Amino acid sequence: MRRIGAHVSIAGGVSNAIYRQQDIGGNTGQIFVSSPRIWKVSPPSSEEASSFRMQRKKFDQAPYVVHSMYLVNLGTKNDDIFYKSLKALQEELNVAHMLGIEYFVFHPGAHTGGFEREEGLKRISQGLNELLVPKDTKLLLENTTGKGTTIGRTFEELAAIIEGSDKDFSSLGICFDTCHAFCGGFPIHTEKGLESTIDKLDEVIGIENLGVIHLNDSKHPFDSRKDEHEHIGMGYIGDEAFKRFLNDPLLTNIPLILETPVSQDLDHSWDISKVKSFIRNSDV
């Protein structure tokens, strides 16, 4: 069975995410476990965590993903930001473990505060060394568009971060975002471009180390280095590219998480239905 879902809110309690996912037709999902724009992490009660686990099992929603807060930056020279980022990441990882969540996604960061790119890469690896990744949760580095000083646009940079740390693919992996890749210069909108991108991913990272796909169209053109998501097929990547992507045999077992816009007219249920309509295998 293909696993398709979306990022949903935990407002009113983390277990409410399960019901929201069910309402939009998802059977996997992603959440924040804290506000993405403040440093504070408030763990759920043991009762709420238990409810989340029970409802997940009841509705067969798996795997689940925690997305880190946006403030995190392990690539910075600024010690205050670096150690705040480490603390927040560890606290969020602990919540993911408490909830029994399989994947934790974060953006590697940006080389800021006077660091050059190579120094930023080393700093992120140093940060990974400091983190205690729970046994049953895999930490996934997400590819970026490469805007400004952000790190992680290429598979080589993601691999360098992992190889520079004291961890390996038993606890680490990557999350591939289609909008980020497209705007970062990977031509996934063409047949040959998609093939070359998947080949490069397999060569440098290994398909087996791809944990999650963020499935998003783009409001901006190819290689723009911008990051603004669009509904599936309504952006510059387009319907035909997503049909090829969704039916590529190397990607069919990877969970798909939508981070597409939500408006009064179109919500995640629309995107999930469209994604399902593109998949040739009827087992969705």
The CATH number of the domain holding residue 122 is 3.20.20.150
The answer to whether position 284 is within a domain reads no
Residues 54, 27, 237, 159: what is their CA dihedral angle, to the nearest 10 degrees?
A: 50
**Could you count the other beta carbons within 10 Å of the beta carbon of residue 8?**
23
Contacts of residue 170, defined as CB under 8 A and 6 or more positions apart, other chains included, come to none
CB 179 within 8 A of CB 144: no
The answer to whether position 283 is within a domain reads no
The answer to whether position 35 is within a domain reads yes
- The structure's pTM equals 0.97
Question: Containing domain of residue 273, as a range?
Answer: 4-278
Token duo for residue 74: 């392990």
Domain count, the chain: 1
The answer to whether position 201 is within a domain reads yes
Contacts of residue 268, defined as CB under 8 A and 6 or more positions apart, other chains included, come to 6, 8, 24, 26, 258, 260, 262
pLDDT tens, per residue, the chain with 284 residues: 999 999 999 999 999 999 999 999 999 999 999 998 899 999 999 999 999 999 999 999 999 999 999 999 999 999 999 999 999 999 999 999 999 999 999 999 999 999 999 999 999 999 999 999 999 999 999 999 999 999 999 999 999 999 999 999 999 999 999 999 999 999 999 999 999 999 999 999 999 999 999 999 999 999 999 999 999 999 999 999 999 999 999 999 999 999 999 988 899 999 999 999 999 975 66
The answer to whether position 103 is within a domain reads yes
pLDDT at residue number 157: 98
Residues 18, 19, 20, 23: what is their CA dihedral angle, to the nearest 10 degrees?
A: 120
Just list the catalytic residues.
37, 67, 70, 107, 142, 177, 180, 214, 227, 229, 259
d(CA 6, CA 196): 27
pLDDT at residue number 224: 98
The answer to whether position 29 is within a domain reads yes
The answer to whether position 252 is within a domain reads yes
Q: Tell me the sheet residues that pair with 218.
A: 229
Among 30, 145, 39, 153, which Cα is nearest to 89's? 39
The answer to whether position 14 is within a domain reads yes
Residues present in the chain in total: 284
